[in-house]
Amino acid sequence: MRRMFLVLLAAVIVTACKKESAAVHSEISDPTVAKKKVVNSTLSFAGYTWVVSAPGGLVSPGPNYWNGSNAWVDVNGWLHLKIAKNPSNNHWESAEVYTTQSLGYGTYQWQVEGTLGSFDKNIVLGMYNYSGNDQHDEMDIEIARWGNAAWDNLNYTIWPATGVTASPGVYTASFTTPNGTYTTHRFKRTSSSVKLQSLYGFQDGDANQFQTATFNSPATSISTLSMPVHINLWLYGGLAPSNNQPVEVIIHSFKFTPL
């Protein structure tokens, strides 16, 4: 019964994501909505140069308002991402960075500090590869309940390669952070599979793993493209946090180990 429930829940989440994407496309066609994000700066983190997405009106995902000041690197070299209400315009504003370099096969790992297990239902933290072609060529780790507090909050999604008509591979699970606010998330890309893992604490091995899933091609049509790495903290549907509280996460490290 639980297995059937998870299958049905995964289908609902994929449908929700598709509806979200369709809504974004509809809004982008409106001339009052920005057609693309405006880039105002870059930052250096973990040995890479990252573009910081700046305000440009309501833009996807979400759509959200974005503030370049909501992403910064501290004196320790750690990346901060924040969602907060801007008193100058009364908008809730989100944060996003992505690498100027495209990366391919190998292991992608993020060590994250934050109350991920108790995020508000409208908060989304994404860590992923993405080519820019919507609903294709994307490997996602997302901490999100997609606006429904009863839904699972850990989401692994593998979107098919460009030119392939297939449903995305989806795995969802619920998790809490009983042992503190440090977690590690990673995926390993090869030409035929993506293995994803989430672990308690800051890990380089497999200790304290609490979830994992592997997607294999051809069933999930794994992309072979090299792509930028994205990290974003945003609001589902552009909705304010239901608890009306700002949110901040700290990425202590990002590491890419090529095959």
Residue-range domain boundaries for the chain? 2-258
**Residue in 185, 157, 153, 190 with CA at minimum distance from that of residue 254:** 185
The pair phi, psi for residue 17, each rounded to 5°, is -65, -40
2-258: what CATH class? mainly beta
Please enumerate, as own/partner, the contacts of 57-61 that have beta carbons within 8 Å and a separation of 24 or more.
57/32, 57/33, 58/27, 58/33, 58/34, 58/238, 59/28, 59/33, 59/34, 59/35, 60/21, 60/24, 60/27, 60/28, 61/20, 61/24, 61/124, 61/126, 61/232, 61/234
Q: Please tell me the predicted confidence (pLDDT) of residue 179.
A: 84
| Secondary structure in 3-state letters for the chain | CHHHHHHHHHHHHHHHHHHHHHHHHHHHCCCCCCCCCEEEEEEEECCEEEEEEECCCCECCCCEEECHHHEEECCCCCEEEEEEEECCCCEEEEEEEEECCCECCEEEEEEEECCHHHCCCCEEEEEEEECCCCCCCEEEEEEECCCCCCCCCEEEEEECCCCCCCCCEEEEECCCCCCCCEEEEEEEECCCEEEEEEEECCCCCCCCEEEEEEEECCCCCCCCCCECEEEEEEEHHHCCCCCCCCEEEEEEEEEEEEC
Non-local (6+) Cβ contacts of 42 within 8 A are 49, 50, 51, 52, 100
In tens digits, the chain (259 residues) has pLDDT values of 434 334 444 444 444 444 344 333 323 333 333 434 555 699 999 999 999 998 789 999 999 999 999 999 999 999 999 999 999 999 999 999 999 999 999 999 999 999 999 999 999 999 999 999 999 999 999 999 999 999 999 999 999 999 998 899 999 999 999 889 999 999 999 999 999 999 999 999 999 999 999 999 888 889 999 999 999 999 999 999 999 999 999 999 999 999 9
Structure tokens at 14: 């994929």
